[in-house]
Amino acid sequence: MFKVVINPHWEITHSNDAPLDTAVLLNLLMSIQKTGSISKAARLVDLSYRYSWGLLREAEKLFGTALLNTDRGRGTTLTPLAEKLIWADRRIRARLSPTLESLASELESEIGKTIVGKTKPLRLDASHGFAVDALLHQLTEANLPVDLRYRNSTDAVAALSRNECDLAGFHVPLGDFEKKAVERYTQWLNPREHCLIHLAIRTQGMFVAPGNPKGIQTLQDLKRPGVRFVNRQIGSGTRMLLELMLAGANISPFDIEGYQSNEFTHSAVAAYIASGMADVGVGVQTAAQRFSLDFIPLIRERYFLALPLSIMDDPLIQLVIDVVQSGYFRKVINGLAGYDSSDTGKILLLSEAFGHAKMAAI
Q: For 73-127, what is each residue's pLDDT tens digit?
A: 678 999 999 988 988 888 888 888 777 887 877 777 777 667 655 567 899 999 8
Q: How far is it, in rounded angstroms, from Cα 150 to Cα 262? A: 16
Q: How far is it, in rounded angstroms, from Cα 301 to Cα 282? A: 13
Q: How far is it, in rounded angstroms, from Cα 104 to Cα 308? A: 26
Q: How far is it, in rounded angstroms, from Cα 46 to Cα 41? A: 8
> What does the angle CA 141 – CA 145 – CA 150 come to, to the nearest 5 degrees?
95
Residues 321-349: tens digit of each pLDDT: 999 999 999 999 999 999 999 999 999 99
Contact 167, 304 (CB under 8 A): no
* Residues with Cβ within 8 Å of residue 218, at least 6 apart in sequence: none
Residue 355 above 90 pLDDT? no
pLDDT the model gives residue 275: 87
Residues 282-323: tens digit of each pLDDT: 999 999 999 999 999 999 999 999 999 999 999 999 999 999
pLDDT the model gives residue 359: 45
Angle between helices 237-248 and 178-185 (to 10 degrees): 140
